[in-house]
A and B are shown apart, each in its own frame.
Chain A
Amino acid sequence: MKFYDLLATSFRNLFRQKARTVLTVISMMIGAFLIAIMMSVGNGLKQFMVSQVTLFANTSTIAVQANVDFAQAFGMSLGGGVAEFEEESPQVQDPAGEGQNDSVNGVPDFLSEAFLDQEDLEKLQEIDGVSEAAFETYVTPDYIRLAEDESPKLLISMYGVPSGIRDRVKFSSVDRALLERDDAIVLSDSYAEAWNMDREDLVGETVLVRMTQTGDTGVSGMGMGMTGNIPSDAGEQEGPGEPLRQEFELVVAGLFEKSIFSQISFITPQQSDILRAFVSGQELSEFSEEEQAFEIIVVAEDDDQVDAVDRRIEDLGYQSSTFDEAVGQIGVVFDILGVALSGFGAIAMLVASIGIANTLLMAIYERTREIGVMKAVGATRSTIGLLFTMEAAWLGIIGGTVGLLFTKLFGDAVNFILHEGISIGSATLLEGFLADYPTFDVSVFSIGIVLLVLGVTAGVAIVAGLYPAWRASRLDPVVALSR
């Protein structure tokens, strides 16, 4: 029998017991829907997280840290065991290679081991294929305001980042020439809203950030947002009277698309040094010389070299992670989440497969005589078996397709409602939670999901159909015809 005829005949057989077919398809559909919706929500969240990471890193950057086992350093150990005491237990490796035993700035020893200093920075800058490297630093001003108007706004942090990061931020508006300047600042476009300006108008504006001298030395970022405020050992600034304050002029070079990090900004490492030197009360040259940070951002000359550069950095004894590695880690988390949630879908699928097996076993019973006739007029066992297997596959594929269709409609509806809210006339029933994040969709459908869900539904259905198909193929034609 020709493959096409098998397909067509098994498809026609679906219409013999319409109600039963519909019910079986519905159960399959529910399973497909649950799996597909979990995956598309997982996709959406993953894309969102990745887009957040993209603010701080891109495919040309590598984040470098000292090779310190923080878990161990903080007294955590996997499995909760206690390590044996060793008299000459080796010190945690000091990447700077200075063997400095004294605590830095009153920070516990193990923490100082985690710092990277000027020497590390120079080492990294000299690596083949590296175009720039800079400490990852951030500094928090008291406020930010437009030069010619009094409406100070909060700005949580200004990250000093190399141009390799600043240049590749997802801009909603930008002036590339301004971006080259040392006093450039890149803000979230929510500041345009806050100041009631068009984005294009805000770019090129002069803004003022006010810093207060606290005597703290540079704030060092430890990855994203994590920070340790390290008290200076020249800690005599806490004198009486008004602390020293100063406004610094910056020029808005660009605005990035609003994200969950809407109150951060990017400045140049040079500018960051100036501001942090002021905060610490030190001379700029002195401050720069002693600068330390948890992390150095290295920018490769081009994206293709990132992996090679990454290897060279690790060969020097540092811990480093590329953009792909960082995104990969986020991806794994969401993939695991997606798979776990798909468990519900899997259970629904299992129920559906039992339904399919049941449907087909009933069909065999009803079609016994017909199967006998088919054999009498020349059907082989495998033809009969294939007809039933394909009928199962149809049930799975139709269920999967309808489930996917619902997923798409449901996902689109949820995305729409979350962006636009629900309002009847002028009355708003529901705020659009995501109105501020136009590029973020909760549910992101993809070809991958379509293929996977159809594969799974067809596969599950075929497996469920195997036993009925085997039973049907084995029917004795003489017995079948006498029924």
Chain B
Amino acid sequence: MIVIKEAERTYHLGDEDIHALDGLSLEIKKGEFIALVGPSGSGKSTLMNVIGALDSLDSGSISVDGQDLSKLSDSGKAMYRRKKVGFVFQTFNLQARLTALENVELPLMLDGIPRKKRRDLALEALSKVHLSDRVRHVPSELSGGQQQRVAIARAIVNRPEILLADEPTGNLDSKSGEQIMKLLKSLNEQEQVTIVMVTHNEDHAAFAHRVLHMLDGNISHTRNGRKKEVYG
């Protein structure tokens, strides 16, 4: 359970104060699939970074399963990111020199898991994203959709409770985007992974339980997702 109260995050650009998060409060239940929509600059990515403990609040609070994130040390935050959350980015952010398998192994390596075990876990994660036949390929040998699936495998290899996906389909064609969405949906349904996803795509937002509209650093309104046709 993610609880955010009165979250403020202000950036200072010269004389100007940019309120990226402006008094935002939000609760996300375990196993929920949330879509964040809204205009550019409305604070969607900032909210994601705060939930992932990559960024911290100026005021207000955020706690995850009762743990106040602002109370975590640097290594505590690193541990939290390693164990509790997985990140998926619009631009995939795979390491170009490493094979799909090695990319997926990276979080496990940072976690100090022995070679053999991390190989097994990474292969398992890659099979979940249907890439068992591409594990020795480097990113440049993979399509955009395949690269994003490697990134998802990397995000879930540590079996995190929360998956943070910032425009995961933003750089993909509609067919690949659709595949990624189905993958996220099955992760949410079969593994009860809490998903927070930013998207500009209405169809993709419809995969979520709740769609949060953001404007000027706050949630302007909320509506239910899950159109019948998607789940039919």
Contacts and interface: CB of A to CB of B under 8 A. Distances in A.
A424 interface: no
Interface stretch (B32-40, B78-86, B119-127, B214-222): B78-86
A378 B82 contact: yes
A377 B154 contact: yes
19 contacts: A1-B112, A5-B109, A16-B97, A373-B93, A374-B106, A374-B110, A375-B81, A376-B54, A376-B93, A377-B110, A378-B83, A378-B110, A378-B158, A380-B75, A381-B78, A477-B54, A478-B55, A481-B54, A481-B93
Nearest to B95: A370
B52 interface: yes
B191 interface: no
Interface SS of chain A: helix
A375 B54 contact: yes
Shortest 3 CB-CB distances between A and B: which pairs? A378-B82, A380-B78, A377-B107
A423 to B, nearest CB: 52
B74 interface: yes
A1 B89 contact: no
B54 A377 contact: no
Nearest to A373: B93
B81 A378 contact: yes
A378 B93 contact: no
Nearest to B84: A378
Contacts of B207: none
Interface in A179-233: none
A2 interface: yes
Interface of A: 1-2, 5, 9, 12, 16, 369-370, 372-383, 477-478, 481
* Interface bracket on B: 20 to 34
Interface in B65-83: 74-75, 78-79, 81-83
Contacts of B63: none
Contacts of B154: 377
A377 B75 contact: no
B20 to A, nearest CB: 10
B112 A377 contact: no
B179 interface: no
A382 B75 contact: yes
A377 B89 contact: no
A327 to B, nearest CB: 52
Contacts of B81: 375-378
A477 B49 CA distance: 9
A380 B75 CA distance: 5
B92 to A, nearest CB: 10
